[in-house]
Amino acid sequence: MQIRLATFNIRNVTDRYEERQPLLGQAFAEIDADIIGLQEVMFSPPRQDDFLSAQLPGRHYRAFGSRHEKYTGFGNAILCGLGDVLAHEELRLSRGRSVHRVLVALPGQFTMWFANTHLHHKPEEPGVRVEQARAIVGWMDGAPAADLEVVVGDFNTPPHEPAYTVMTTAGYRSAYAEANGAEPAVTWPSGIQAPTMDTEGDPNCLDYVWLRGRGRAVRAWLGADAHPASDPTIYPSDHFAVVVEAETGA
């Protein structure tokens, strides 16, 4: 069967959020993922994961959160609109970060781990991301066996950095590169202009959907990558989403 997977850093409620909130909702609805990992989600009311789930009410998303260790009203979320969720687990990483995963039973007695994370953001500290990526790989290696493992997130890691190599050495394949032959040139920044915008680092590919096991990417593209015709300085987020159509069992 084909499933649609995605990752999307939604940039919390900063960067002109009142203006971009409707763009964010529209972009999320267009992504229309079966399972999506979100980063920089505000959990204080009104919760952003609830707002996004409401854009696709027919999907009946189940939300699973992982809060930042220090800023507990903020963190990452998995929205699952497919299969039966058998487990939700979390691993704390360094610098207040985390990774969390759901075990999903799909039709045909097919099981999948879907993990979501957001790695350390400082461009000048790639070693922290290496340590965090190794922790994620070790955690996934120790998980009960599943047919397919998916790890998504904002890795803050361009393809030339060693944390990317940690993932590929462990047998994970970037779904975007698998479908298109190369990574996208840029997933951050989108082009949004705001007083609070993140300016640390050079434009690059930082966001990934990783696959390991019985599944392959048949199509992959960037979502949330358009601005209104009337204003080229506003986007749904400061990141683009990475969206993947994957064939399970392949």
Q: Cα dihedral sign for 127, 7, 92, 189?
A: positive
Residue 39 forms beta bridges with which residues? 9
Separation between Cα atoms, residue 215 and residue 248, nearest integer Å: 4
Separation between Cα atoms, residue 46 and residue 56, nearest integer Å: 17
Examine the pLDDT at 205 and tell me if it is beyond 80: yes
Contact 6, 198 (CB under 8 A): no
Q: For residue 25, what are the domain limits?
A: 2-248
**Average pLDDT of the segment spanning 39-57:** 97
How far, in whole angstroms, is CA 46 from its chain's centroid? 21
How many distinct structural domains can be found in the chain? 1
Whether the pTM exceeds 0.95: the reply is yes
Q: How confident is the model at residue 249 (pLDDT cuts 50, 70, 90)?
A: confident
Q: What is the pLDDT of residue 4?
A: 98
Separation between Cα atoms, residue 246 and residue 5, nearest integer Å: 7
Q: How many residues does the chain have?
A: 250
Q: Which residues of 59-73 are buried (b: 16+ CB within 10 A; e: fewer)?
A: bebbbbbbbbeeeee
Separation between Cα atoms, residue 171 and residue 133, nearest integer Å: 13
Contact 23, 234 (CB under 8 A): yes
At residue 226, the 3 state secondary structure works out as coil
78-123 pLDDT, tens digit each: 999 999 999 999 999 999 999 999 999 999 999 999 999 999 999 9
Query: DSSP letter at 96?
Result: G
Examine the pLDDT at 209 and tell me if it is beyond 80: yes
Q: Note the helical H segments in 142-218.
A: 162-169, 175-180
Examine the pLDDT at 139 and tell me if it is beyond 80: yes
Q: What angle do CA 196, 8, 144 make, to 5 degrees?
A: 135
We report the CATH number of the domain holding residue 186 as 3.60.10.10
Examine the pLDDT at 60 and tell me if it is beyond 90: yes
148-172 pLDDT, tens digit each: 999 999 999 999 999 999 999 999 9
Separation between Cα atoms, residue 213 and residue 248, nearest integer Å: 9
Amino acid in position 133: A
How far, in whole angstroms, is CA 41 from its chain's centroid? 11
Other C-beta atoms within 10 Å of 102: how many?
22
**Of 152, 90, 96, 165, nearest in space to 126 by CA:** 165
Q: What is the pLDDT of residue 71?
A: 87
